[in-house]
Amino acid sequence: MKEILQALLLGVVQGLTEFLPVSSSGHMSVFRHFSGMATEGSGLFSAMLHIGTLIAVFVAFYKPIYELFIEFFLCLKDIFTGKFNKFKLKNMSTTRRMLFMFVISCVPLLLLLLPVGNGNNLMDLVDVFSSDNSIKAEGICFMVTGLVLLLGTTVSQSTGRFQKVSPFSALVIGIAQFFAACFPGISRSGTTVSAALCCRISKNNAIRYSFILSIPAVIASALVEFKDALGGNEIIPVSSLLVGVIASAVVGILAIRLLQLLIKKNLYKYFGMYCVIFGFVVTVIGAIEVFIK
């Protein structure tokens, strides 16, 4: 029963923090730090929680995802039949243009695969921030997330004409996603939505773009965790896995709908305030722990 309750709690935390702009990785790290739950041997469970959040995205945005999926194969067909001979955005349909913008936004994530020596890549190097016993890095990153959210809120409330996602704005959003992937406490949804708002993209389009963009990153993260889990001997009850997946999926859908409502009502800034305050508290506690030790 204890394992079921832990799975339920972690699923709820994952579903809420993956989509609300407060950093799921940072909250999970802080939660495990204070709860005493071991992070070792949790690769399979973490991967399954990511599957739950994927389900939430597909349920919430099934129509544009389906259109992009079909457009991907239509694009391949045009390439192999010689019909795709001119790369001009103005001549593309809205869906095909968006497909190419997603590709541009995903490019910065490839930097995580850069070799850094000793058989490691950049992803292995930045993993140290999640696996150490300190929460100071998480606290600082939470504060950075809060400031980014407040900046995005300020820009979105200024007057001006909304823009379509351009190659430049797609790259900016992709760079924001890259930094979120590197540091626990930097919210992926928060930084990508804020980056989109700063590029004068409308609120609804910013949220939709951010969450659909998360699909490749979440799939890649889940695959890495599955790979790590296969190399270990962890045994997790199927019931715990199912509870975690269902909880993260259901809560994730609710979190997406809540964020859409809150950003529409100009309440997005309160997430920024929360992250700044929470980050400050976590940083202070982390500093005190180091001093005591």
pLDDT digits (tens, 9 = 90+) for 34-50: 876 654 446 778 888 88
| Strongest mean pLDDT among 71-75, 135-139, 141-145 | 141-145
H or E segment at 288? helix 269-292
Report the pLDDT averaged over residues 217-242: 77
122 token code pair:
């950049």
Query: Given a cut of 60, is residue 287 above it in pLDDT?
Result: yes
286 token code pair:
């982390």
Q: At 59, which amino acid appears?
A: V
Cα 271 to the chain's mean position, in Å? 15
At residue 130, φ and ψ (nearest 5 deg) are: -90, -25
- The model's confidence at residue 86, banded by pLDDT at 50, 70 and 90, is low
DSSP tag of 157: T
171-225 pLDDT per residue, tens: 999 999 999 988 888 999 999 999 999 999 998 899 999 999 999 888 887 887 7
Nearest to 45 by CA among 282, 200, 212, 235: 235
Q: At 113, which amino acid appears?
A: L
Cα 84 to Cα 172: distance, rounded to the nearest angstrom: 27
Q: At 87, which amino acid appears?
A: F
Cα 115 to Cα 238: distance, rounded to the nearest angstrom: 36
Using the Cα atoms of residue 183, residue 185, residue 187 and residue 190 in order, give the sign of their dihedral.
Answer: negative
Query: Given a cut of 90, is residue 113 above it in pLDDT?
Result: no
Report the pLDDT averaged over residues 153-159: 82
Please write down the long-range contacts of 76-82, taking CB distance under 8 Å and 24 or more positions apart.
none
Residue-level pLDDT at 85: 62
Looking from the CA of 29 toward its CB, the CA atoms found within 13 Å total 28
Report the pLDDT averaged over residues 255-271: 90
Residue-level pLDDT at 68: 94
Query: Given a cut of 70, is residue 110 above it in pLDDT?
Result: yes
Number of domains in the chain: 1
Q: Are 175 and 108 in contact (CB under 8 A)?
A: yes
194 token code pair:
């804020």
8-35 pLDDT per residue, tens: 888 888 888 888 998 888 887 887 788 7
At residue 292, φ and ψ (nearest 5 deg) are: -65, -40
Query: The pTM is what?
Result: 0.88
| Domain interval for residue 69 | 2-292
Cα 58 to the chain's mean position, in Å? 15
